[in-house]
């Protein structure tokens, strides 16, 4: 068979995406040596060959988890022994991989929220002894047509020494504030630095998720992402979901504590991206955050009580730029924070950011946008009309609430292929680190495969008589062993329990019911959709067929689907690089109509009907054929 | 003789202004009982009669320092014994006073820097659950045409509870920020208060002088001044004049200490005007300050070093509104400070404020404006051209640097009349408090009279052979006793020494040289002037003739002169009540051309020539006739 891969991609990843089983038990770290393949034609960039004998190396064997494509190549996947069984896999014996260069990331127009201007005002003399600040303002206006300019006291206090340090050669950093309704732009002087600073300024794009925080450091000259980092939202210790966080916030000092926690996490992300990119903290001009409405309230310390009481009213959605220090962020004194506006209490700035990133606001195509996070949010429509709703899917697809669930972070099992004969799994972890748990894409992939192979029935219960020791009775009912302790990064087996399965079933039913209800409001069936865009930080190996198989995504032509990953972070990055897009996001937020599903009786009906794999009404998923 | 007085004016003040000697030794406090007069016709509103015998009362005697005009009245001033001499004063025996009602203060158009709007946004419901803040913004726009609105985080944090406290009935306080160059106005939400607050908001007009601080609390509904307070600038302990303050500021923590001191003084003034007017602190929306450039730098903690190094460049002149809390002012969290822009390092916001108040910027008349403060500043011109300069007059006319000098505060001797026969002084103190010292107007009055009576020669030295014990040899040469210890509020005699006289002579020479040089630059002689406007906080009893007699003011027709008092405070009050005038002050500041007199050789020549009373060239003061 001939399959396609990208230059630089690992052979193991290519095989996984193509559904070719290679017994990768250690997650891709090069430790187990089981994923060896032989290069028949062409060559690869291979590392870590110590698990291979000299003879094997001489024959052209490499570890598929350590070999990156450099061009077209033909690979022989050996017959291997798994457990006590020899695996025949004739058709997969040879795979021919055609390599395409990695698609270059789209660089949007660079039009940041700050501008940096090199100035050399006239040196004062007796005939012209205007103040330091007025000299700067005058030069900005006359030489650069930049006005009106404002400056806060901190900037003015430092001005006299700074302008004289390099003989009136300075760099002025200005925050650009648009007032779109008025066609007015005001320039706020963030700082003045002595000399002409050639080093490029940076800004941060941040996604504040209920479960995870993501941050990217962006070069404001080019729009290029310099470094990326993520971690759990430290607020997790104060509640798994938004409702429990609100409850915590209403306790004494609860709101303050929650704010401190998320800022702590963000400060760590800032430290990490600065270290990774070897940039200085002082290069950071601003941060754009996208988060759901509850996360945004907690980050800004806005009183969240009325978010959870009908009619669910936020304190504020459109917030002006905030000095970073006012939020205790460890950022330069001139840095500010721009917060994505939300639509409603349960459709927040992360969704607006996602809509900005996916382009449906500017498209004629009837689009369904599904963001699978701790909350599930859905947007349907096009440039003429955007409707949105949220459903409490719970954090299962982010790995939350599962025995060995985890977010899409290094060590998370994201790719899984189960051998149909032996029921042995081939696993791929993020960053090829020893397996620590399973993330969203791994969960969708494994459930779909277990359903197809009959390991699981349509009610989400395990078949108990398959004769594999991967399936066993555990502490909380039956469970499947995804990764054995010896091969994992933990001291214990990584398993998926029936309790986990129940959680996942409810999460997928909530998502299904959510988009079904919203399309009903629009009078549309799924067949009328031109596009379905899936977002979510569940790892990059989410497989479309698998997601349809379990009934999470609608059973429509596959070419209508696309995956956008963490669209909230993507939208934040777009806003970082182009402030006109951020301004546009305010219009997008205003134009979105929110539907409260919790008030809608059809939501519960649809939910109940979806608590089955793929669905109680099999005709909704005609392409799904189960072996059972 | 018939003289004019105002309804409510004290008889003592009427007499003093008219040059009618009444032996008021205690300053007007009603303690000495010497200023008795008899009401012959009409009546007065008389207090404190305990110093009078029952018989005297029956005859119609009152204390002139305790009797206020209620209408026309004829008064008999008795012959009195002063020291060992009986005073004949036939022509002053009876004075007929015609009383005019007090002129009502001019109330400018009320157009403050903040607006207060009563709002009742729609109560949220399922079909309309926009955020609290957006509901407010929407209502402001739809019902009041107020947009764009911005709000800082503090306001948003308090919003949810405040809007619900009185069922969505709120009062919104908005700061109005004009961008005149752009014809744009932005509304900054200062605070939201539950309910519809009918109580009027207030603001403070403040003059930050080198020697004195003045503050007025203004009703923003009517423009009325509710209370006034003043005190010494506590920075005095760190230097008498602006140069020594700058020197102090450049020491370690010096600038911080100076700022703390002036803020301490301002906070005391705030406390006092609130107490006097019985207003709540929370009623204060903003403060407008006018001060010279050095005072403004120290107040804002702007680096002042380059103010005193040629070419004398300030850090900044046009400063945006500053949150009051950022300056440690004890004002509500929503309050802000607006600072008058200056022209140059030694022509500051106090002069711009004064020019705003005196109207010369909007007049065709060729005007000379002289502000006699610790620094002397001069502006000449009209609506077509304004030139300005400063001269180091020193603080003598504010009472500074004199043995018993003091600012124009309660207890300061402001009015003086010396009896030509006995050389005994009649004194009037501010607020009729026991005398504590002498202020500017008292100094001008006494020197002029001493010069005319030959107590003083034209070199500023005392005649030593007059045979009055008011004149004596003291610790530092000859001195004149203005108020004896027994009649003063001090434990010692209040005297004017020859060292004091020398200080005053130098101060008046500096002022004279300043305006002479500036008019030279304009190619004008004093005769070409249409108006001369005198400002200065030297008390309200400055007498024009006296000021010309000593050579401080030019000898031109008296009807061209007017006194405006503390014009810096007056301009600040105008700006408080009408923000368009504040905006105008920025244009005024920009339009003023500053001349550095310290660079001009003719300044020193003029100064030297003026070190004589009234001047070495007597022809410059033709109307001044000295008895000697």
Chain B CB contacts of A301 under 8 Å are: 153, 157
- Identify the three-state secondary structure at position B454: coil
Largest alpha-carbon pair distance within chain B?
Answer: 97
Is the pLDDT at A290 greater than 50? The verdict is: yes
Reported confidence tier of residue A73, pLDDT bands at 50, 70, 90:
confident
Number of cross-chain residue pairs from A and B with Cβ atoms under 8 Å apart: 151
Is the pLDDT at A283 greater than 70? The verdict is: yes
Alpha helices, DSSP H, located in B85-152? 132-144
CB contact under 8 A, A161 and B186: no
Distance between start and end Cα atoms, chain B: 28
Chain A CB contacts of B190 under 8 Å are: none
Smallest CA-to-CA distance from B370 within B381, B360, B380 is with B380
Across the interface, of A151, A179, A326, the residue whose CB is closest to B153 is A326
Q: Judge whether A462 and A456 are in contact, CB under 8 Å.
A: yes
pLDDT tens by residue, A481-532: 999 999 899 889 999 999 999 999 999 999 999 999 999 999 999 999 999 9
For A189, which residue in chain B has the nearest alpha carbon?
B320
User: 3-state SS of chain A: helix, strand, coil percent to 5?
Assistant: 35, 30, 40
- Identify the three-state secondary structure at position B305: helix
Reported confidence tier of residue A626, pLDDT bands at 50, 70, 90:
confident
Across the interface, of B153, B182, B594, the residue whose CB is closest to A300 is B153
Interface mutation vs chain A, best among B138, B315, B349, most A CBs within 10 Å: B315
| DSSP codes of every residue in A124-155 | PBTTB---HHHHHHHHHHHHH----EEE-HHH
Residue B9 is encoded by which pair of tokens?
């004016």
Q: In what order do the strands lie in the sheet with A36-41?
A: A2-6, A94-100, A73-76, A36-41, A61-63
CB contact under 8 A, B134 and A318: yes
| CA–CA min distance B118, chain A (Å) | 19
Q: B545: which strand partners?
A: none
CB contact under 8 A, B302 and A599: no
Q: Judge whether B126 and A311 are in contact, CB under 8 Å.
A: yes
CB contact under 8 A, A316 and B181: no
Is the pLDDT at A91 greater than 60? The verdict is: no
Torsion of Cα atoms, A538 then A540 then A544 then A547, to 10°: -20
Residue A575 confidence (pLDDT): 96
**Spatial separation of the C-alpha atoms in residues B421 and B210, rounded to whole Å:** 39
Smallest CA-to-CA distance from A341 within A311, A321, A365, A362 is with A321
For the purposes of burial, counting CB atoms within 10 Å of the CB of B384, is it exposed (0-12), middle (13-18) or buried (19 or more)? exposed
| CA–CA min distance B608, chain A (Å) | 25
Least confident of A105-114, A220-229, A568-577: A105-114
CB contact under 8 A, A181 and B311: no
Residue A210: DSSP 8-state:
S
Torsion of Cα atoms, A378 then A381 then A383 then A387, to 10°: -60
Q: How many residues does chain A have?
A: 628
Cβ density class A16-47: b for 16+ within 10 Å, e for less: bbbebbbbbbbbbbbbbbbbbbebeeeebebe
Smallest CA-to-CA distance from B29 within B539, B430, B426, B493 is with B430
Is the pLDDT at A85 greater than 60? The verdict is: no
Chain B CB contacts of A150 under 8 Å are: 320
For B301, which residue in chain A has the nearest alpha carbon?
A157
CB contact under 8 A, A315 and B132: yes
CB contact under 8 A, A311 and B160: no
Residue A206 confidence (pLDDT): 98
For A327, which residue in chain B has the nearest alpha carbon?
B153
CB contact under 8 A, A315 and B153: no
| CA–CA min distance B278, chain A (Å) | 33
Residue B263 is encoded by which pair of tokens?
């803020």
Across the interface, of A152, A310, A313, the residue whose CB is closest to B132 is A313
Chain B CB contacts of A184 under 8 Å are: 179, 182, 184
Chain A CB contacts of B344 under 8 Å are: 129
Q: Judge whether B575 and B588 are in contact, CB under 8 Å.
A: no
Distance between start and end Cα atoms, chain A: 27
Taking 70 as the pLDDT cut, the residues of chain B under it are 1-2, 18-19, 79-108, 180-181, 537-542, 627-628
- Identify the three-state secondary structure at position B73: strand
| CA–CA min distance B520, chain A (Å) | 18
CB contact under 8 A, B302 and A160: yes
Interface mutation vs chain B, best among A147, A297, A315, most B CBs within 10 Å: A315
Q: Which of A51-55, A74-78, A346-350 has the highest mean pLDDT?
A: A346-350
Across the interface, of B129, B317, B599, the residue whose CB is closest to A131 is B317
Smallest CA-to-CA distance from A622 within A533, A549, A546 is with A549
| CA–CA min distance A146, chain B (Å) | 12
CB contact under 8 A, B320 and A186: no
Measured CA angle at A456 (ends A451, A458), to 5 deg = 75
Q: In what order do the strands lie in the sheet with A170-179?
A: A114-119, A170-179, A184-194, A149-151
**Spatial separation of the C-alpha atoms in residues B156 and B133, rounded to whole Å:** 7
CB contact under 8 A, B153 and A345: no
Percent of residues, chain A, with pLDDT higher than 90: 62
For B308, which residue in chain A has the nearest alpha carbon?
A129
Residue A86 confidence (pLDDT): 45
For the purposes of burial, counting CB atoms within 10 Å of the CB of B122, is it exposed (0-12), middle (13-18) or buried (19 or more)? exposed
Chain A CB contacts of B302 under 8 Å are: 153, 156-157, 160
**Spatial separation of the C-alpha atoms in residues B99 and B516, rounded to whole Å:** 39
Residue B533 is encoded by which pair of tokens?
């406007």
CB contact under 8 A, B151 and A316: yes
User: 3-state SS of chain B: helix, strand, coil percent to 5?
Assistant: 35, 30, 35
Smallest CA-to-CA distance from A344 within A297, A288, A414, A384 is with A297
Enter the pTM of the model: 0.81
Across the interface, of B315, B594, B599, the residue whose CB is closest to A159 is B315
Chain B CB contacts of A157 under 8 Å are: 300-303, 315
For B321, which residue in chain A has the nearest alpha carbon?
A152
| CA–CA min distance B192, chain A (Å) | 13
Across the interface, of B124, B132, B319, the residue whose CB is closest to A156 is B319
Interface mutation vs chain A, best among B153, B319, B591, most A CBs within 10 Å: B153
Q: B219: which strand partners?
A: B202
- Identify the three-state secondary structure at position B68: strand
pLDDT tens by residue, A128-179: 989 999 999 999 999 999 999 999 999 999 999 999 999 999 999 999 998 7
**Spatial separation of the C-alpha atoms in residues A428 and A513, rounded to whole Å:** 31
Q: Judge whether B367 and B533 are in contact, CB under 8 Å.
A: yes
Calculate helix-pair angle for B567-577, B349-358, nearest 10 degrees. Answer: 80
E strands, B81-210, where?
81-82, 85-86, 94-100, 114-119, 149-151, 170-179, 184-194, 202-208
Torsion of Cα atoms, B7 then B9 then B11 then B13, to 10°: -140
Residue B187 confidence (pLDDT): 94
């Amino acid at each position: 068979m001939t399959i396609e891969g990208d230059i630089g991609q690992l052979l193991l990843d290519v095989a996984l995406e193509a559904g070719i089983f290679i017994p990768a038990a250690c997650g891709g770290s090069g430790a187990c040596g089981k994923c060896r393949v032989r290069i028949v034609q062409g060559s690869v960039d291979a590392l870590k060959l110590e698990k291979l004998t000299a003879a094997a190396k001489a024959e052209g064997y490499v570890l598929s988890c350590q070999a990156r494509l450099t061009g077209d190549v033909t690979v022989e996947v050996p017959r291997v022994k798994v457990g006590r069984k020899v695996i025949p896999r004739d058709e997969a014996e040879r795979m021919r991989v055609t390599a395409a260069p990695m698609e270059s990331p789209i660089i949007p127009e660079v039009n940041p929220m700050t501008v940096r201007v090199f100035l050399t005002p006239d040196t004062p003399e007796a005939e012209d002894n205007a103040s330091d600040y007025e000299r700067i303002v005058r030069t900005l206006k006359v030489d650069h047509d930049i006005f009106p300019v404002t400056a806060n006291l901190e900037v003015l206090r430092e001005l006299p020494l700074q302008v004289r340090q390099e003989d009136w050669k300075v760099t002025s950093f200005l925050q650009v504030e648009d007032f779109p309704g008025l066609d007015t732009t005001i320039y706020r002087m963030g700082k003045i630095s002595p000399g002409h600073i050639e080093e490029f300024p940076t800004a941060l794009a941040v996604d504040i998720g209920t479960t995870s925080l993501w941050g990217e450091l962006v070069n404001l000259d080019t729009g290029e992402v310099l470094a990326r980092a993520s971690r759990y939202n430290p607020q997790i210790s104060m509640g798994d979901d938004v409702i429990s966080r609100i409850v915590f916030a209403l306790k004494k000092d609860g709101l303050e504590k929650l704010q401190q926690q998320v800022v702590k996490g963000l400060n760590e992300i800032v430290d990490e991206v600065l270290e990774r990119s070897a940039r200085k903290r002082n290069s950071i001009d601003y941060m754009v955050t996208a988060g759901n409405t509850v996360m945004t309230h907690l980050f800004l310390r806005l009183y969240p009580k009325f978010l959870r009481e009908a009619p669910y009213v936020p304190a504020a959605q459109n917030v002006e730029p905030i000095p970073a220090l006012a939020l205790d962020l460890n950022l330069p004194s001139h840095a500010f924070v721009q917060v994505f506006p939300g639509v409603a209490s349960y459709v927040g700035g992360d969704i607006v950011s996602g809509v900005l990133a996916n382009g449906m606001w500017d498209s004629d195509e009837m689009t369904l946008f599904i963001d699978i996070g701790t909350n599930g949010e859905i947007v349907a429509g096009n440039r003429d009309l955007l409707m949105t709703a949220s459903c409490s899917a719970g954090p299962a697809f982010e790995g939350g609430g599962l025995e060995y669930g985890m977010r899409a972070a290094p060590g998370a099992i994201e790719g899984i292929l189960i051998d149909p004969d032996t029921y042995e799994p081939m696993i791929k972890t993020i960053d090829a680190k020893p397996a620590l748990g399973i993330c969203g894409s791994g969960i969708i992939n494994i459930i779909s495969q277990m359903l197809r192979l009959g390991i699981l029935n349509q009610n989400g219960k395990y078949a108990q008589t398959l004769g594999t020791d991967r399936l066993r009775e555990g502490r909380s009912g039956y469970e499947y062993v995804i990764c054995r302790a010896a091969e994992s990064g933990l001291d214990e087996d990584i398993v998926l329990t029936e309790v986990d399965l129940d959680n996942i079933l409810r999460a997928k039913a909530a998502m299904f019911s959510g988009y079904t209800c919203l399309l009903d409001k629009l009078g549309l069936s799924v067949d009328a959709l031109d596009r379905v865009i899936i977002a979510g930080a569940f790892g990059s190996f989410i497989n479309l067929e698998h997601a349809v198989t379990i009934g999470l995504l609608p059973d429509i032509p596959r070419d209508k689907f696309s995956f956008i990953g963490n669209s909230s972070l993507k939208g934040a990055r777009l806003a970082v690089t182009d402030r006109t897009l951020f301004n546009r996001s305010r219009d997008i937020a205003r134009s979105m109509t929110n539907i409260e599903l919790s008030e809608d009786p059809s939501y519960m009906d649809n939910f109940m009907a979806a608590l089955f794999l793929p669905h109680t009404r099999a005709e909704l998923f005609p392409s799904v054929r189960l072996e059972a």
